[in-house]
């Protein structure tokens, strides 16, 4: 052992010790993370999948990936771009057989040609320095028309199926969030998928249309999609278990309701255990940019027992209560960004939603709480969203709305928030 | 215009690689150069304001929208000047007139203030989004508290110069008679590097 090797090993040991110590200090992991077996490929996949994280510095990224691997997470989901590079850099420090790579074919403006698709796969393969991608997700495949245009007309699907044959892609699937008819239409076009990724959580289970809260947009409930997939024997990958954090930051009433049923567990743990309760869910992918979240989520799915009928009914009742709050269903996915006019769209929604959760939405100027709530709303708005990024600067061009997977009519919501803040400001 | 073109180029580039998130840079707008100076409602006239103001700064410290700030010009050093980059002069706010100790800004009620015309809006059509970027906007009309701006289809108008390329696109028509010069339009105009609609001052303030 030369000096460099010595330093490397001792540093690695030191950091492992430090990490272990902090894990023990807060909340120790009892038992092991649950796994599920893919019926066709036989992959033993961890029930918790490491979701895509955007814009995180490499050292923090490495720390999360190391911690996840060490605690049994072996499914790493990413998408082309900066996040794929960061994931590759972190994972290449570990042996290839320890983890499954999932990456995506994102929806783009203008459909990909066959050649562009081929280049995209080659780029992902070379980035991970490997000869196979374990799970390839055709992202946001929300209608038969989109499928036709993006993958059938240009021969891309045929090529992808050949790649699956030759083993360069081990599992091919798509992610879906749309109406029932669109799903049935997609399945009519092609059924031999190795998995389908759907938005699964205890709000979307029975209330997908209410969650999206846009009149006319009738999204398929997760229950329907799950049953359909089970019927076709296709494994399900759950995405948005927390609805972009909404189920971790609940209004106080529902939050206390969950807490009183399980004081030692986090509110987020209910969301993970809900997803895990369905046996055909292969893995639950969630972007966890903070170590404490990762720890908690691993804990939620360790020594895992599915929720009982009673607990599921309790959660369904909680879902109904949550839906009474007029939250804007933004999941902070950032697909709408950047706004050409400089607005911080997810930031504005996050602020508005937080004020709803904390009951800081003053309505009645005569109520005794009005002045305090008004001040809280306006002060936090100014502090979090600098002037030129506020809702008032939306010109309604609609560039953002076409990218929103939740179907939020962003210009209309911006106008509502602008009118609302204007009303508050006026009542000095 | 350069920056306007840049702002247009940026999103296209971002869309090509589709939505990696992030924010486009924001250019801090410079203070608008006005041909005629602007003084707060209640000042009666620019002459009255300049001769009576002792530059004590009370009104500046009270202004909730940061419309008033100390002047840096030699002629009116440290006396307040008005501009709308950071906020606009709300019709219901009369704080500056309440604190002025010298009568440079005489006392006005909100009712009086909504009738005092301290200036009027001027349209700079070359910077306006229907011209510069070919998009609908209407931010000025939407934020005008006096409904002095109407958005009208370009095809229905007769332009002396060149109209927008698309006849269905809507452009602002300003009713100067209803405009009190509050500056909401200037503040909310998204055009870069300068607002496509701005307020020219009235040296002697008049009432509706």
Q: Is the pLDDT of residue A130 over 60?
A: yes
Residue B20 lies in a domain: no
What domains are defined for chain A?
30-322 (3.20.20.100), 345-426 (no CATH)
Quick one: which H or E segment has residue A225?
Answer: helix A222-231
Across the interface, whether the CB atoms of B86 and A335 are under 8 A apart is answered: no
Chain B touched by A164 (CB under 8 Å): no
**Residue A101 contacts by C-beta under 8 Å, 6 or more apart in sequence?**
A76, A78, A91, A128, A130, A133, A134, A135
- Work out the average pLDDT over B20-26: 81
Q: What is the pLDDT of residues A244-278, one digit of tens each?
A: 888 998 888 899 999 999 998 999 999 999 999 99
CATH number at residue B180: 3.30.70.20
Residue B1 lies in a domain: no
Range of the domain at B167: 28-205
Is A212 in contact with A408 (CB distance < 8 Å)? yes
Residue B83 lies in a domain: yes
DSSP state of A152: I
DSSP state of A282: E
Nearest alpha carbon to residue A427 among A391, A373, A385: A373
Chain A touched by B158 (CB under 8 Å): no
Q: What is the mean pLDDT of chain A?
A: 88
The owner of tokens 């790649």 is A163
Across the interface, whether the CB atoms of A337 and B23 are under 8 A apart is answered: yes
Q: Is the pLDDT of residue B63 over 60?
A: yes
Among residues of chain A, what percentage have pLDDT more than 70?
92
Across the interface, whether the CB atoms of A395 and B138 are under 8 A apart is answered: yes
Q: Which of B4, B25, B26, B27 to mutate to test the interface with A (most CBs of A within 10 A)?
A: B26
Across the interface, whether the CB atoms of B188 and A392 are under 8 A apart is answered: yes
3-state secondary structure of B207: strand
Nearest alpha carbon to residue B18 among A422, A405, A107: A107
pLDDT of residue A186: 93
Chain A touched by B78 (CB under 8 Å): no
Burial of B206 (0-12, 13-18, 19+ CB in 10 A): exposed
pLDDT of residue B5: 40
- Work out the average pLDDT over A320-342: 89
Position B193 confidence tier, pLDDT thresholds 50, 70, 90: confident
pLDDT of residue A20: 44
ipTM of this predicted structure: 0.75
The residue that leads in pLDDT, B82 or A358, is: B82
Position A213 confidence tier, pLDDT thresholds 50, 70, 90: low
Q: What is the pLDDT of residues A77-125, one digit of tens each?
A: 999 988 899 999 999 999 999 999 999 998 877 778 899 999 999 999 9
Chain B touched by A107 (CB under 8 Å): yes
Number of domains in chain B: 1
Chain A touched by B10 (CB under 8 Å): yes
Residue B9 lies in a domain: no
Across the interface, whether the CB atoms of A428 and B92 are under 8 A apart is answered: yes
Residue B188 lies in a domain: yes
Q: Is the pLDDT of residue A296 over 80?
A: yes
Q: What is the pLDDT of residues A33-87, one digit of tens each?
A: 999 999 999 999 999 999 999 888 999 999 999 999 999 999 999 999 888 999 9
Angle between helices A82-91 and A114-127 (to 10 degrees): 30
Q: What share of chain B is helix, strand, coil (3-state, %, to 5)?
A: 25, 15, 55
Across the interface, whether the CB atoms of B15 and A399 are under 8 A apart is answered: yes
- Nearest by CB to B11, which of A386, A393, A399? A399
| CA triple A361-A420-A327, angle to 5 deg | 50
Residue B47 lies in a domain: yes
**Residue B50 contacts by C-beta under 8 Å, 6 or more apart in sequence?**
B76, B79
Contacts of A338 in chain B (CB under 8 A): 10-11, 14, 21-24
Q: Is the pLDDT of residue B108 over 70?
A: yes
- Nearest by CB to B190, which of A337, A387, A395? A395
How far apart CA B160 and CA B162 sit, in angstroms, is 7
- Work out the average pLDDT over A142-163: 92
Contacts of A365 in chain B (CB under 8 A): none
The owner of tokens 């040296």 is B203
**A381 token code pair:** 């708005």
Quick one: which H or E segment has residue A49?
Answer: strand A48-50
pLDDT of residue B8: 41
Residue B48 lies in a domain: yes
- Work out the average pLDDT over B7-29: 59
Q: Is the pLDDT of residue A315 over 80?
A: yes
The torsion angles phi and psi of A163, rounded to 5 degrees, stand at -65, -35
- Nearest by CB to A342, which of B26, B129, B188? B26
Contacts of A109 in chain B (CB under 8 A): 15-16, 18
pLDDT of residue A30: 62
Q: Is the pLDDT of residue B162 over 90?
A: no
Residue B167 lies in a domain: yes
Chain B touched by A389 (CB under 8 Å): yes
Contacts of A392 in chain B (CB under 8 A): 139, 143, 188
Nearest CA in chain A to B15: A109
Contacts of A334 in chain B (CB under 8 A): 19-22
Nearest CA in chain B to A389: B26
Angle between helices A267-276 and A291-300 (to 10 degrees): 50
């Amino acid at each position: 052992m030369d000096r460099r090797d010595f330093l490397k090993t001792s540093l690695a040991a030191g950091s492992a010790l430090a990490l272990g110590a902090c894990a023990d200090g807060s909340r120790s992991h009892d038992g092991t993370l649950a796994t599920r077996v893919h019926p066709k490929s036989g992959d033993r996949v961890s029930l918790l999948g490491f979701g895509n994280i955007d814009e995180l510095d490499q050292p923090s990224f490495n720390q999360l990936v190391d911690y996840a691997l060490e605690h049994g997470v072996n499914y790493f989901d990413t998408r082309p771009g900066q996040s794929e590079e960061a994931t590759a850099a972190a994972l290449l420090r570990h042996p290839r057989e320890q983890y499954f790579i999932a990456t995506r074919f994102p929806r783009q403006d203008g459909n990909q040609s066959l050649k562009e698709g081929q280049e995209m796969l080659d780029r992902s393969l070379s980035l991970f320095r490997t000869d196979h991608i374990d799970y390839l997700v055709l992202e946001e495949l929300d209608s038969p028309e989109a499928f036709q245009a993006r993958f059938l007309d240009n021969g891309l699907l045929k090529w992808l199926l050949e790649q699956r044959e030759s083993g360069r892609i081990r599992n091919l699937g798509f992610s879906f969030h749309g109406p029932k008819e669109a799903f049935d239409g997609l399945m009519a076009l092609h059924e031999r998928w190795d998995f389908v990724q759907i938005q699964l959580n205890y709000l979307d289970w029975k209330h997908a249309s209410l969650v999206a809260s846009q009149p006319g947009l009738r999204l398929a409930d997760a229950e329907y999609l799950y049953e359909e997939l089970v019927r076709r024997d296709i494994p399900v990958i759950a995405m948005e278990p927390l609805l972009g954090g909404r189920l971790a930051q609940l209004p106080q009433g529902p939050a206390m309701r969950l807490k009183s049923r399980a004081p030692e567990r986090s509110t987020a743990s209910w969301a993970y255990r809900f997803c895990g309760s369905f046996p055909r869910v292969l893995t639950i992918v969630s972007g966890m940019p903070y170590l404490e979240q990762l720890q908690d989520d691993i804990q939620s799915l360790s020594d895992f027992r599915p929720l009982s009928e009673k607990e599921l009914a309790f959660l369904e009742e909680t879902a109904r209560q949550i839906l009474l709050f007029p939250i804007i269903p933004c999941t902070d996915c950032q697909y709408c960004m950047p706004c050409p006019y400089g607005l911080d769209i997810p930031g504005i929604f996050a602020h508005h939603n937080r004020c709803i959760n904390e009951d800081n939405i003053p309505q009645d100027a005569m109520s005794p709480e009005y002045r305090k709530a008004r001040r809280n709303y306006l002060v936090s708005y100014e502090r979090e969203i600098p002037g030129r990024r506020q809702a008032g600067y939306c010109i309604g061009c609609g560039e953002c709305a076409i990218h929103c997977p939740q179907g939020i009519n962003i210009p209309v919501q911006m106008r509502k928030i602008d009118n609302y803040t204007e009303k508050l400001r006026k009542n000095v | 215009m350069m920056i306007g073109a840049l702002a247009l180029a940026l999103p296209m580039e971002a869309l090509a690689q589709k939505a990696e998130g992030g924010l486009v840079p924001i250019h801090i707008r410079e203070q608008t150069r006005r041909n005629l100076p602007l003084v707060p409602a209640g000042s009666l006239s620019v002459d009255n304001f300049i001769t009576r103001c002792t530059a004590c700064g009370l009104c500046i410290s009270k202004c909730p929208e940061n419309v008033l700030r100390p002047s840096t010009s030699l002629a009116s050093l440290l006396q307040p000047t008005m501009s709308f980059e950071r906020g606009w002069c709300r019709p219901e706010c009369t704080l500056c007139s309440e604190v002025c100790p010298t009568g440079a800004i005489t006392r006005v009620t909100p009712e009086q203030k909504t009738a005092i015309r301290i200036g009027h809006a001027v349209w700079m059509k070359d910077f306006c989004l229907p011209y510069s970027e070919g998009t609908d906007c209407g931010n000025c009309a939407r934020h005008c508290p006096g409904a002095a701006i109407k958005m009208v289809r370009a095809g229905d108008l007769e332009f002396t110069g060149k109209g927008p390329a698309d006849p269905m696109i809507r452009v602002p028509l300003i009713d100067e008679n209803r405009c009190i010069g509050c500056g909401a339009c200037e503040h909310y105009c998204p055009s870069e590097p300068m607002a496509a609609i701005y307020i020219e001052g009235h040296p002697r303030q008049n009432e509706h």
